[in-house]
Structure 1
Amino acid sequence: MANVLIIAEKPAAAEKIAFALGKAKVIRKHKIRYFLTESNGDKLSVVSAVGHLFTLAPKEGTSFPYFDLEWKPVWQVSKKSLFAKQYADLIEELAKDADKFILACDYDIEGEVIGLNALRFLCHRSDAQRMRFSTLTPIDLRNAYENILPTLDWGQADAGETRHYLDWLWGINLSRALMRSLEALKRRSILSIGRVQGPTLALLAEREKEIANFKPKPFWQITILLKTNPAIEAIHHKNVFWDEGEAKAVFERVSGKPAKVASIQTKEQIVQPPVPFDLTSLQAEAWRCFKFSPSKTQQLAQDLYTAALISYPRTSSQKLPPT
């Protein structure tokens, strides 16, 4: 019988994983819960992080601009994250008796980084097996365990770690440089720039210039209301008239006159069902229909995912899993 440590991303996910894999027992330690169960003769301990347990920070003795960075426990960087220490302590304690390690964080680049840091800094391991799932339904979780990947998804892990470094090297350094540029003016203000914000603002600035330089040109359209049952609104085939005189002449010729159907064209068309939402399209639709802010929509989607009601929301994919 092997002692297996399964690391989930959040407590609610750990609970669903444990009960999906067997008759789990709840254990309390350090004022937090983890779960014991068995599968195929192995003893499983299912424990969770609480999101990121480690964050990048400048090395001691360095000064702005910061290029020498290292991973540090979040509670050493911010007192607001002191609660995370007890989760890290529990993972480190359970890792001492584990023979095998399984990462079961969300299957995206942030989940891979969360799991990688827990493995190397708390479990003192360089790799682990990987459960890959897109929903927290029991069938999906059991399938992920039975078809476990032999290693981490190193493509996602490397991409996630690179993103964290870029946020510091590019975003935080430049943001601090921008704020320092205001010191001479004795103005206190928060300015920020980053790998996403910078290009996005550049696109908005270019669009704003186009709008400011746009010179409107008047045009005319002719529409008629046909007294059919039901009534039909028709648009002149030319659509847009750039000459007012031409538009008025056409209008006077047809106004109040009878109309006839010259021809009817029919065609069959196969309309595919709409693709599933990704996070961005879901946020746009929620704003259009309900005026929900993007952050509110993301939190609602996360809650639905945790309740195993939808697939993983923080994704750009528009494909549904077979389950």
Structure 2
Amino acid sequence: MILYIAEKPSLGRAIADVLPKPLKKHDGYLEAANGDCVSWCVGHLLEQAEPDAYDAQYKSWKLEHLPIVPQQWQLKPKANTRSQLTVLKKLVGQAQQLVHAGDPDREGQLLVDEVLSYLKVSQSKLASAQRLLINDLNPSAVTKALKQLRSNREFIPLSTSALARSRADWLYGMNMTRAFTLQGRKVGYQGVLSVGRVQTPVLGLVVRRDEEIAAFQSKPFYEVLAHLHDPNVPDNSAFTAKWQPSEACAKWQDEEGRVLAKGLAENVAGRISNQAAKVLSVEEKQKRQAPPLPYNLSALQIDCNKRFGMSAKEVLDTAQSLYEKHKLLTYPRSDSRYLPKAQFSDAPKVLQAISQGATELLQGVDAPDAKLKSKAWDDSKVDAHHAIIPTEKVANLNALSNRERQVYLQVARQYLAQFYPHYLYWDTRVSVEIAGGIFNASSKREQQAGWKQLFRSNRGEESDNDDEDSSGNLPKLTVGQALWCDRGEVVEKITQPPKHFTDATLLAAMTGISRYVSDSDIRKILKDTDGLGTEATRAGIIELLFKRGFLQRQGKTILATDAGKGLIHSLPLSATLPDMTAQWENRLEAICQREINYQHFMSPLLQTIEQLVHEACQQLPTALAGVKANKPAFAKRRRSSGSRKSASGSSSRSKSATATKAAKGSSTRRKTTAKSS
């Protein structure tokens, strides 16, 4: 008997639907006519044990216990899914062949692997286990995936990386949370000070942005515009050019080159008024812009937040519904924006499905050309999963909720763009001399709309992809041509503070975290990594900070609360910056690529945690003095042995980093040592 173990029931049903009929329904699994079975997990069936599972004294929070490092790691069944684990135990014992059908990502790999390990599956059966990678739940796609099984052993590094991440988050989050919560009590803060290797640097980004805005002082700066025309061509020859200050003006400029001296600008404007001008250079180039790549989850979340005001979690939940319930999108937690070349042969069917189900996207535009192949098709940039695209199923938009419709159309339009030619335009740049000063002007003139016709604002939903210059066209100019400056104009502007974060900009900051890293060497490395968190966890991390009372929303704007600010100012700087956690992600990816092993990741991590805990115990978090906790740390049940709250290091589907318990009492210190598995 072949046993397929899916990550969740919806995926299990999709697999069973293509197996020999009739199907028999059992408690927790489906049986095909040939005897093969499909069962499933329900997310993570196992979770990291609480500290007191290693030693009862850890039920009480005491500084002398820290850092707590398990000697032998323990997983425990989740209470609400224990029955499904029992079903899998029986089926795994009966099966001759195992097929791992977890979601095609790091967590999906670990989710099933940890069950097989916990059930003590024999080495021979593990060695022959196969891996089924499914990105599309429609029958044709599932059937195709079943013909492309791979050895599950190929994915051991992926599973090891996820395991290291899970344990590291538990160690960091639990120890740091206990240390700072206990120290916080000493200054009167009665909340749990949850610290995590991802959530805390994200909070730090928001706190520092808020404070930068609060401290910002606006100042005026000045631009000089020259209003020009050709005296020999009175009609349609007028245009404006902007002054480019020379090096001699540097002392009147700020670090961004803006002129701060109004008198200087007025002097230039006066000197060029009613003066002859001459064209120094004319540069006209034909440029092309390729279609935007299909979406990964972060890019989809960013665009949907900008366009529809959807939170990151709302986009993920909606895309997940379109994948599982409606089978209209491929796997939504993807971090890739590329497609396998083999998928190109399916393009005509996908395009047909879009044209039949989402006709509004193609109204008033050229038909897509299924023979065009954009740069999105690149096998070298696709591993376990590819970009999020529509499936071959025809959508019934009337059967979708408003959010589902918006997200589906967004993904469909991005896919359609791959089958349109490049956007072509003429880019013209002109330099003019007036009274010894240099003035520049530029314009863009469209030659071929190409894929941009799908994104025009008059089609209902304006796209951020449309970045055409709105300055208009320049007249035909030649080098040496004589012009006349009618007048110089001083334009006063005010420097603007950075904007508060929104879901879109915070997600963009998390994915492009290298911009916020101080170390140039680390910044260089991080340009090639996925940033803070993963596609699957970023939305949850942001929501977690709201639930814990560290962030708050004002419309689309995300702001830090007093508790959030106080926590950041109480922590060591290294715990609030993305440098450390970004390095973690880089090293976790190195495990996936077989460049380092588990121990090479964990050993330095343990040293870092010990140092951070030591530092936490040496100083009080005075920034939290007088700050009221948004949520009480300890409920009325305090008279009992203790209450439990989550203090995971970062958000994940497993929530396996839960590590907080609080109670009265005292005990002696016992510190266990680390041992890898």
Q: TM-score, normalised by structure 2?
A: 0.41
Work out which of the residue numbers 40, 50, 62 in structure 1 matches 2:42. 50
Is the counterpart of residue 35 in structure 1 residue 30 in structure 2?
A: yes
Counterparts of 2:279 and 2:19, CA distance in 1 = 67
Counterparts of 2:145 and 2:41, CA distance in 1 = 19
C-alpha distance 211-235 of structure 1, shift in aligned 2 (>3 A): farther
SS in 2 for 1:312: coil
What does 1:1-323 correspond to in 2, within 5 Å?
3-23=1-21, 25-29=23-27, 32=28, 34-37=29-32, 43-57=35-49, 58=51, 59-62=53-56, 63=58, 64-65=65-66, 66-68=68-70, 69-75=73-79, 82=80, 84-122=81-119, 124-126=121-123, 127=126, 128-152=129-153, 153-204=155-206, 217-223=219-225, 234-238=240-244, 240-252=258-270, 265-306=283-324, 307-321=326-340, 322-323=342-343
Q: Which amino acid aligns with 1:129?
A: Q
Counterparts of 1:283 and 1:303, CA distance in 2 = 15
Counterparts of 2:26 and 2:8, CA distance in 1 = 16
Write the deviation string for residues 111-159 of structure 1: whole angstroms up to 9, x where unpaired.
Answer: 1111112212247245221112333233332232212112241011101
Q: Which amino acid aligns with 1:184?
A: K
2:45–2:85 CA contact under 8 A, matched in 1:
yes
Write the deviation string for residues 55-114 of structure 1: whole angstroms up to 9, x where unpaired.
Answer: 011334252543224111011xxxxxx2x1222122122223211100001011111111
Counterparts of 1:43 and 1:315, CA distance in 2 = 33
Deviation at 1:271, TM superposition (A): 0.9
Deviation at 1:255, TM superposition (A): 7.1
Counterparts of 2:89 and 2:235, CA distance in 1 = 75
SS in 2 for 1:236: strand
1:96–1:123 CA contact under 8 A, matched in 2:
no
Write the deviation string for residues 194-220 of structure 1: whole angstroms up to 9, x where unpaired.
Answer: 121233345555656666666655311
Write the deviation string for residues 21-65 of structure 1: whole angstroms up to 9, x where unpaired.
Answer: 444514032xx4x32236xxx632111110000001133425254
Percent identity of equivalent pairs: 29
SS in 2 for 1:15: helix
2:223–2:243 CA contact under 8 A, matched in 1:
no
Q: Which amino acid aligns with 1:53?
A: L
1:18–1:24 CA contact under 8 A, matched in 2:
no
Counterparts of 1:226 and 1:139, CA distance in 2 = 64
Counterparts of 2:75 and 2:208, CA distance in 1 = 38
C-alpha distance 196-257 of structure 1, shift in aligned 2 (>3 A): same
C-alpha distance 159-247 of structure 1, shift in aligned 2 (>3 A): same
Q: Which amino acid aligns with 1:246?
A: L
Q: Which amino acid aligns with 1:148?
A: L
SS in 1 for 2:152: coil
Aligned to 1:78: none
Counterparts of 1:88 and 1:169, CA distance in 2 = 26
User: What is the alpha-carbon root mean square deviation over aligned residues?
Assistant: 3.3
1:91–1:123 CA contact under 8 A, matched in 2:
no
Q: Which structure ranks higher in relative contact order (CA pairs < 8 Å, sequence separation ≥ 6)?
A: 2
C-alpha distance 13-261 of structure 1, shift in aligned 2 (>3 A): farther
Task: Tell me the number of residue pairs that the alignment of Structure 1 and Structure 2 aligns.
Answer: 308
Listed as ranges, the gaps of 5+ residues in structure 2 are 59-64, 246-257, 344-677
Aligned to 1:79: none
C-alpha distance 96-260 of structure 1, shift in aligned 2 (>3 A): same
Q: TM-score, normalised by structure 1?
A: 0.81
1:224–1:235 CA contact under 8 A, matched in 2:
yes
2:296–2:337 CA contact under 8 A, matched in 1:
yes
Counterparts of 1:132 and 1:138, CA distance in 2 = 14
